[in-house]
Structure 1
Amino acid sequence: MLVRHLSFFVTLAREQHFARAADACNVTQSTLSAALRKLEEDLQVPLVVRNQRFVGLTVEGEHLLAWARQILADYDGLRDDLSGLRAGLSGTLRLGVVPAAMGTVGVLSTFFRKAHPEALIEIRSLSSRDIQKGLDDFELEAGLTYLENEPLERVRRIPLYHERYILAMRADHPLAARETVTWAEAVTQTLCLLSPDMQNRRILDNLAESLSLRLRPAVVSNSFLGICAHLRQGGFAAIVPHGFRHLFGGTDELAMRDLVEPAHRQAVGLVLSDREPLPPMASALLRVVLRADLGSAAGPTADVFGPSVH
C-alpha cells in the first residue's frame, strides 16, 4: 500500500467529487480511480460507493478515513522530523485561535519564530469546536482556546493566562468617564457582541444568566474587527476580553473600562493532540511555551501572559 494512495483517498473524501479530487492531486481521473481500486484490493474491502458520480464512502471507507488521516499526518511528521535533524525545523505550524485570543497570539508567534526562523506560521481564526475538529482531522498542530468552559477532548492543555472582561466604547460614551462598570450597568447598553457560535459569547451569556441578567445585543458579529467598526461609529458598547486593549487600544477614540461585580476570569491556553510522538511542529511549539518567559516578552500585554504558564 502506497502513502500516495491513501493521500488520493483522503482527498476524494474531502472533495466528494472524482474530477475535483484528481485535479487536487494533480493526476488524471483514471490514475485516481486505479489507485483507489488498488487500495480496495490491498485491504480486501469496498471503500467508495460508486455510481456515475461520487456517492459516498462505505462503512469500511469511513473507518479507513480516520486511519488514513493519522497515517498521513505521522508520515509528514516523520519527514519533517528527519529533515529538521539535518537543516533545522522548517515547514508550517498550523495554529487555530479563537477570536478572543487573537490579541495575544502574537506573543507565541514571536517566540516560536525566534526559536525556529525557517518555519512558517499559519494562524486560522476558528471557533473552539472547529479547533477540536482541526486537531482530530490532523489539519492543525495546536490551538489557542478556552480550557475550562466547554473543554476540548483528547487534548493536552497548557494554561497561558486568564481572560478578564472590559466594556469597550467610544470616548464620548456616557460610561467612558467611569473607572469601572458593573455587569448590571453593561447589559443595559446598546451592545455589539460576538455571535452565539463563538464560545466567548456563550461564556458571557452564562455569566449574565448566573447574575440574573440577560444580554440583548443590537448587533452580533463573528469578528472583533466588526465589533471595533461599530464602536468607532459610536452609540455602541461591547463586552470584550481584556486582550482587546492590546489589539485595538492605543487611541484616544476608544475607552475601555474593567467590568466588576464580579471581576470574572476565564482560563485560556494551548491545546495539543494527546498522542505520542507529537508532530514536530507541535512538539517544537510545546518546548517554546514551556521554556519561554512569555510574560516579559509580552510588553504591553504583560498583564495577559503571566506566571500561570507551566
Structure 2
Amino acid sequence: MTQPTLSAGVKQLEDALGVRLVERGARFHGFTPEGMRALEWARRIVGDARAMRQDIDALKRGVVGHLRIAVIPTALPMVSQLTTPFRAQHPDVRFTILSSTSLEIGSALDNLEVDAGVTYLDNEPLGRVSVVPIWREGYRLVTSADDTFGDRDKVTWREVSRLPLCLLTPNMQNRRIVETLLREAGGAPSPTLESNSTEVLLSHVRTGAWSSVLPQSFGDSVSLPPRIRSIPIVDPEVVHTVGLVVPHRDPTTPATTALVAVAKALAVKLSGGVEA
C-alpha cells in the first residue's frame, strides 16, 4: 500500500468516525487517544478474522497454517521440545522461530507479528496474554575447569561478580536478572564482553578463557567441551519460570490451541509428572 493510499484510507475512517485519529504535521507524530483506541479495535478485528479463517480451515483439513514463535535467546535450545511433538501431531503446520527480547515479544504479540512467545513469566510485566508455565530456570557459572572456581561444586553470586564475565546485552531480561543478583550480592558487575547472541557467549566460553552465567536449561541443552563446567550458583539459589505466552483471545486459533496443549504436556514431562 502506498503512503497516499494509506493516508486517504485513514482520512476516510476519520470522517466516518467523526474524530481525528492521528497527530498530523510535516511527519507522522503519533496517534490521538481516539486513534489508539481505534488501533486496539483494528488489531482485535484482524486477529479475529485470522482466527476465523484458520478455524474454518481446521474443519476441512485439520490444524494447518503458519506458527510464528518469538523466543528469548536463552530458551532457544528448548524450543525443539515444543515444535517436534507439535509437528508429529500436526504435520501441515510450518514454523518461524525468532530470537527476541522479552519486550520485543510483548510488542510483537500486541501487533499480531507473532502468534506466541517463550519468555520469562514471573519477573517483568507481561501484558494481556495467556500463559503456560513450562520450566523453572536456575543459573549456572559456565567456566573452565582450570579457572578460579573450576573445581567447585557450587559458587556464590558474590564470587561470580569478581570474574571477568561475558554476558548478554542489557536489553535482554536475562542480563537484567543476572546483573540484579550480582549487585544484590555486593558485586559490581563489569563484563569484559557483551553480546545479544548466546552463541557468541558460548564460543568464548568454549575457549576456556572466558566465563559466563547461563540458565541451567541452556547448559543442559547444548554440548560443552570436557574441560568446561556448569556450576550451580547459590546464596541465593534463584529460579525463574519460563513458559509460553499467547494473545488473550477467545476463541483462539486452532494452531494456538494445539500449541498450548503441547506446552502443557511438555511442562508435565519436564516436571517428572505423568500427563493425565
Match of 2:238 in 1: 264
1:82 alignment partner in structure 2: 56
Q: When the two structures are superposed, what TM-score results if normalisation uses the length of structure 1?
A: 0.78
Q: 1:85 to 1:274 in 2, by over 3 A?
A: same
- Match among 175, 183, 203 for residue 149 of structure 2: 175
Query: In 2, Cα distance between the equivalents of 1:58 and 1:196?
Result: 29
Equivalent pair of 1:158/1:309 in contact (CA under 8 Å): no
CA distance change for structure 1 residues 33 and 130 in 2, over 3 Å: closer, same or farther?
closer
- Unaligned 5+ segments in structure 2 are none
One-letter identity of the residue aligned with 1:184: R
Matched, 1:284 2:258: yes
Flag the structure with more relative contact order, 1 or 2, with Cα contacts below 8 A and sequence separation at least 6: 2
Q: Provide the C-alpha distance between the structure 2 equivalents of 1:57 and 1:240, rounded to a whole number of angstroms.
A: 39
* Residue of 63, 74, 95 corresponding to 1:121: 95
SS in 1 for 2:149: helix
CA positional deviation for 1:210: 3.0
Q: Of 174, 181, 190, which residue of structure 2 is paired with 1:200?
A: 174
- Cα deviation, 1:254-308, whole Å, max 9, x if unaligned, reads 3222223333211111122223122333222112223x25565xxxxx5xx5549
Normalised by the length of structure 2, the TM-score is 0.86
The AA in structure 1 aligned to 2:116 is A
User: CA-atom RMSD, angstroms?
Assistant: 2.7
In structure 2, C-alpha distance between the alignment counterparts of 1:147 and 1:306, rounded to whole Å: 20
The answer as to whether partners of 2:81 and 2:266 remain within 8 angstroms in 1 is: no
In structure 2, C-alpha distance between the alignment counterparts of 1:122 and 1:159, rounded to whole Å: 21
Q: Could you say what secondary structure the match of 2:188 adopts?
A: coil
Confirm or deny that 1:273 pairs with 2:247.
yes
| Pairwise CA distance, 1:213 | 2.9
Of 203, 226, 242, 1:252 maps to 226
Match of 1:43 in 2: 17
Superposed displacement of residue 99, structure 1: 1.4
Query: Separation in 1 of the partners of 2:172 and 2:28?
Result: 33
Comparing 31-40 and 197-206, the one that deviates more? 31-40
1 CA distance for matches of 2:254 and 2:221?
Answer: 30
Match 1:145 to one of 108, 115, 119: 119
Residues 249 and 308 (structure 1), Cα distance of their counterparts in 2 relative to 1, 3 Å cut: farther
In 1: Cα distance, 2:143 partner to 2:58 partner: 48
What is the CA deviation profile of residues 77-97 of structure 1, one whole-angstrom value per residue up to 9, with x for unaligned ones?
A: 110110111012222112121
Question: Equivalent of 1:107, from 77, 81, 91?
Answer: 81
Q: Secondary structure at the match of 1:74?
A: helix
Distance 1:178 1:58 in 2: 56
Q: How does 1:184-199 map to 2 (within 5 A)?
A: 184-199=158-173
Q: How many residues align?
A: 275
| Residues 230 and 38 of structure 1, relative CA distance in 2, 3 Å threshold | same
Paired residues of 1:107 and 1:294 also in contact (CA < 8 A): no
From the superposition, tell whether residues 293 and 276 of structure 1 become closer, same or farther in structure 2 (CA, over 3 Å).
same
